A and B are shown apart, each in its own frame.
Chain A
Amino acid sequence: MTDNRLAARQIELEILRYDPEKDQEPHFERYSVPCINEWCVLDALNHLKDSIDPTLAYRWSCHMQVCGSCGMMINGEPKLACKAMLRDYPDAVIRIEPLAHFPVERDLVSVADDFMDKLKRVKPYLIPGKVRVPTEGEYKQTPAQLKRYRQFAMCINCMLCYAACPEYGLQPKFIGPAAISLAHRYNQDSRDGGRDERQEEIATNEGVWECTFVGACSEVCPKHVDPAAALQQVKVASTVDWYLEHFMSWVKK
């Protein structure tokens, strides 16, 4: 049912389809979808799946830019389908592909295993510097201490930054923007004591030193995490570590 107050609009969705059981390689298929201009791309996909082609596979959950499931390439740009509003796409055709740099599982579903493994490696959780028992009370933190990492805690693991990062596309071993940003988030946390463990993973050639500061990750991040900033800060801190270790070893870290 359409609301007459809203502007109806016919949109051509050009969607990359891949059925691993039938197709040798992915191909584009075009659908003419009756939309409402105030919809987001995810609404259009849902309408397409509900009433035109139920075989289309894609991931989504919250429809409100929190779950990070509906990342896809929309007109070549990594976007959350729930954040990409149709009114911002005035052209008649919208081209939708699965996230770049990830293998395609089926249609718009990409294989996230590599990112999940990397996320695990950087230990993105609090490793208490000093373990406290409940009777000692909670870990306290000042607003200034919170400010040091809060921005990096906004990551929703949507992987848009990996789809934007050409380094990750060329060198899939690169731990990548989101995982390193999350490692940095915990390293910056006043309650945390796990930096040495995380540095083993991120202060390496596959870690921050693979990054050449293209900055694309920060441009596409839907939560304004600024992963590029996190990676450069890790580089600076790791360089300081190196100098302290090699030239000023008497200084305790």
Chain B
Amino acid sequence: MSRRPYVREVPPTSWYFRMPRYMRYMAREVTSIFIGIYTMIMVFGLAALAAGPERWDAFLKALQTPLSLTFHWLALAFALYNSFTWFNVAPKALPIQVGEELMPDIVVAGGHYVVWVLLSLFILFWAGVF
């Protein structure tokens, strides 16, 4: 009897359509594109600031266009989705054992949320929002 194992190839560009859980994973990963573009805009802003008041004003004006506003709302939504999905799986990477018991997931994930809110408040305060 001869062995002749048959290899079924995984389609390299469409594999994630096979299961909802793969789509959820891709959704999480795709959010990073929007966060990346947002970061690029920030870098452009810094360059505009360095180039003088005229360029800076033009940059601020460009931010207020409907296209830019739409993008920023989208980017915010995706950034939140990205943060929530990662915070919720954080307990897997950082289990905290006290004695014989593991701390419940909500303690580790909750800790992330608390630090996140405090840091956000601090930055908003520092930026003069309050």
Using CB atoms and an 8 Å cutoff, list the residues of chain A in contact with chain B. 18, 20-21, 25-26, 76-77, 100-101, 103-105, 111, 143-144, 147-148, 166, 169-170, 212-216, 218-219, 226, 228-229, 232-233, 235-236
Contacts and interface: CB of A to CB of B under 8 A. Distances in A.
Contacts of B10: 100-101, 166, 169-170
Contacts of B25: 166, 212, 214-216
Interface residues of B, number: 28
B5 interface: yes
B21 interface: yes
B3, B5, B97, B99, most chain A CB atoms within 10 A: B5
Given A218-B92, A226-B92, 5 more contacts: A20-B3, A77-B19, A214-B22, A215-B89, A232-B93
A226 B105 CA distance: 14
Nearest to B6: A104
A166 B15 contact: yes
Contact of A21 (B1, B6, B8): B1
A104 B5 contact: yes
Given A214-B22, A229-B92, A236-B93, A18 B100 contact: no
9 contacts: A26-B6, A26-B8, A101-B10, A105-B5, A166-B25, A170-B15, A212-B25, A216-B22, A233-B92
Contact of A213 (B4, B7, B18, B89): B89
A213 B93 CA distance: 10
Contact of B16 (A20, A101, A166, A236): A166
Contact of A104 (B8, B97, B102): B8
B128 interface: no
A169 B6 contact: no
A20 B95 contact: no
B2 to A, nearest CB: 7
B12 interface: yes
B117 interface: no
A235 B93 contact: yes
A19 to B, nearest CB: 10
Contacts of A104: 5-8
B106 to A, nearest CB: 16
Given A144-B97, A215-B21, A228 B92 contact: yes
A186 B70 CA distance: 51
B89 to A, nearest CB: 7
A76 B95 contact: no
A166 B26 CA distance: 11
Contacts of A218: 92
B102 A147 contact: yes
Contacts of B50: none
Contacts of B95: 229, 233
Contacts of A169: 10, 15
